Amino acid sequence: MLQPSEKIWMDGAFVNWADASIHVLTHSLHYGLAAFEGIRCYKGRQGSSIFRLKEHVDRLYESAHIAMMKIPYDNKQLFDAIVETVRINRLDACYIRPLVFIGYGAMGVYPGDNPIRVAIAAWRWGSYLGEDALAKGIRAKVSSFTRHHVNVTMTRAKVSGYYVNSILAKQEAKTDGYDEAVLLDPDGYVAEGTGENIFLVRNGVLKTTPLTSILEGVTRNSIMQLARERNIPVVEERFTRDAMYVADEIFLTGTAAEVTPVREMDGRRIGAGVPGPITKDLQKTFFEIVRGEETAHASWRTPV
Ligand code: PPE
């Protein structure tokens, strides 16, 4: 169950958590066109900070732009509103969810002049895939559902409706007893998880899927940078499901999932069946950086 906090920013002002409601004929609720972000704020030794807030706000504007929704606030206003949402709720560590949606007005697919509305909520959210996921790794399966074709949905945008595909894949994986699903693209190559990008390690090389049918993850970008700084070669290249089966290590990245090792894929043990050395090293570095325990990448942290 979600842990409520006190206030939600809605259309320029804070309202009580319980009062942040909308009309049932809100356009986005029916047709799924809305843009959102998932951002984490971490507690560190020098106080709390929001991880890569600029990149998340920029992606929110890009998503809205792709979806032809004009956000009635500028980038700085939403950036500040997000920081204020964390502050006003006195949260030292939280998950932040900004949502840009098409409001009440005309019904029918064409949104016309319906208002573009914005909400920002923040609440405490622990590990995404369960207690042991980060330490021991998860069991994943390739989904029977296919990830987006580039001309069906444009995955550079983080659009609510796209997540129908993720929900179907996730429900299937959970029903079958797995923790997470990995989806293939329409050509049969590995794309990403339901809410995570995917990496594999083989012979010391880190590989991730190119930006065709996946979301351009902020965590993905951070991990690629951290790997390069450690002289780990990084390639963005399509790979097949059997490349996963023979990988030395696999892990998933996302704001919610952070850096989650995968210990089993489609019933096949990955590597030694425990998180591998490169995964563990990158995960450790990632957590040190988000919590500000490492001075490196200070520009990635916005103090609250
Ligand atoms: N792919 C997808 C499909 C995705 O939803 C996410 C984030 C990522 C990759 C990783 O992106 P980034 O967070 O920028 O590293 N998924 C968000 C929503 C998860 C949810 O269940 O809600 C998230 O992690 O916040």
Instruction: Kindly report the pTM of this predicted structure.
Output: 0.98
pLDDT of residue 206: 98
Instruction: Tell me whether residue 70 is one of the annotated catalytic residues.
Output: no
- Residue closest to 125 by CA, chosen among 12, 43, 53: 43
Catalytic residue among 7, 158, 170, 207: 158
- Percent of the chain exceeding pLDDT 70 equals 100
The token pair that represents 169 in the structure block: 């894949």
pLDDT of residue 130: 85
pLDDT of residue 131: 81
Is 70 buried (19+), middle (13-18) or exposed (0-12) by CB count in 10 A? Answer: exposed
Q: Is the pLDDT of residue 45 over 90?
A: no
- pLDDT tier at 299 (50, 70, 90 boundaries)? very high
Ligand 1 interacting residues, C-beta cut-off 6 A: 38, 166, 192, 195-197, 214-215, 217-220, 253-257
Q: Is the pLDDT of residue 257 over 90?
A: yes
Q: Is the pLDDT of residue 73 over 90?
A: yes
Q: How far is the CA of 28 from the centre of ligand 1 (A)?
A: 20
Residue length of the chain: 304
pLDDT of residue 1: 86
- pLDDT tier at 36 (50, 70, 90 boundaries)? very high
Q: How far is the CA of 4 from the centre of ligand 1 (A)?
A: 21
- Residue closest to 60 by CA, chosen among 50, 49, 75: 75
Q: Is the pLDDT of residue 92 over 90?
A: yes
